[in-house]
Amino acid sequence: MVLRNGSAWLFAALALIFAAPAFYPQSAPARVLRIQLAQYDWVQPPKYWNSEHVRTQQNRLTIDSQGRVLVSFTERGPSDEFAAQGHPSLRFRILRFDADGKLDLSLSLPTDNWWGNGIFLDPQGRIIAITDEKVQMSQLPVESGDQVAWKVLTVCGTNCKAYQSVDRRTLLLSVTVFNYSAFAIDGTVTQCAGAAPFGPPDGISEHFMYRQDIGVPPQPLLVLSRQSICHPGQPVALPIRTQAGGMVLPLNDNLYRFRQAIYRDDGTLVQKLNLHFAKDEADDSSGIVGVSQNLRRFIVLAVTKKGRHEWLDMPGHVTAERAFVYDAVTNQEIGSLPFPISGYAWEQQFAISPSGDRYAVFTNGLLLIADVPPAAAPSATKSAGP
């Protein structure tokens, strides 16, 4: 079996994980950039416009291989633009900030809604924009001052949800509940389509889409199934045997993360992730929200709740939130970054760079960019995998 996309980091971690200390105190990032996007015309969006509550939220934050952060939001367009369907004129804004937090790119695209817009990057750094109910890609990686030529890939309507694999090679669009369109992006763009017998996926890797279900009580186990994206057939259940609860994160075609562990597709436990949360940081709200392309570093959300009483079924209320990077090789938390509490979880966006040495948080008009020390390569004596 050939393991791709940084799997060697995970196996190198096995030689280090048991020798590492059991706990690491919170450490601040090496540098934090705070950018208030109101200066770039960000405004608090309305709760909903007409029937927009049925629209699916898309990804609005990403980081390219040069550490440049792309953030996007919907803004009101010029007042003299045509307004249709009860909306004011709207524009979808894409901003890019360089390594020093300086704006080096600003794009504005038309859109007909507040909530269904989003951005992704392909492996070559080309921008993929979901806006105005269609998916379009920049023809070339966009540099500062470039005129951007866009190519429309497909439509993406009201209920369309976009998924991207960790390696950025595959973009899947759940067009309807049981139908999807997918694009393999690696220099060229290849499209395929199919039916999803289990409905919208819970995640994708380069060649597979995944669905998780809960087994039969009294000890419900996770039931994880996958199906080939471009060669669809019957879903195949993977031989994982662990207690249900939490969401699966496919890392590549061979590995996936569930709760605080990494598994192979044959059900073998590869590594335990020893994430440490403070006393009041709630397990039901905290967890991994992103992973670097080399699979070595994870961005983790930690949510502090007060007033929780499990026996009284009282969920408590959020009093603090922070994000940090967890290094799977050193078993170390680095770069703990508190950020203001947002009223709605869907307003929060998180991203980590392909190398894992920069991450970003976008919440309520505030963009935070944090740098952490680059990952050192494991020594030859510690990098041997099983």
pLDDT (tens digit, 9 = 90+) per residue, 198-253? 788 889 999 999 988 776 666 567 778 899 999 878 888 888 766 656 678 999 99
Mean pLDDT of 98-109: 94
CB half-sphere exposure, 201, CA atoms < 13 A: 32
Residue of 279, 219, 287, 216 lying closest to 248 (CA atoms): 287
* pLDDT of 279 above 90: no
Mean pLDDT of 369-386: 62
Q: Which pLDDT value is given to residue 379?
A: 38
Q: Which of 122-131, 280-289, 367-376 has the lowest mean pLDDT?
A: 280-289
- pLDDT tens digits, 29-86: 889 999 999 999 998 877 655 544 455 678 999 999 999 999 999 998 765 445 444 4
Bridge partners, residue 63, by sequence: 69
* Phi, psi dihedral angles at 52 (to 5 degrees): -75, -5
The residue type found at 43 is V
* pLDDT of 140 above 70: yes
CA distance 337 to 237: 38
Ramachandran area for residue 101 (φ above 0: left; ψ -120 to 50: alpha; else beta): left
Two structure tokens written together for 46: 């309305």
Q: Which pLDDT value is given to residue 292?
A: 96
Q: What is the pTM of this model?
A: 0.85
CA distance 198 to 216: 18
* pLDDT of 268 above 50: yes
Residue of 276, 279, 258, 278 lying closest to 267 (CA atoms): 258
Q: Which pLDDT value is given to residue 18?
A: 34
What percentage of the chain carries pLDDT values higher than 70?
77
Could you tell me which residue, 34 or 177, shows the higher pLDDT?
34
**Structural domains present in the chain:** 7-371 (2.130.10)
For 216, residues 6+ apart whose C-beta sits below 8 A from its C-beta are none
* pLDDT of 151 above 80: yes
Bridge partners, residue 111, by sequence: 90
CB atoms within 10 A of CB 333: 21
Q: Which pLDDT value is given to residue 76?
A: 85
Q: Which pLDDT value is given to residue 353?
A: 97
Q: What is the mean pLDDT of the chain?
A: 81
CA distance 7 to 167: 12
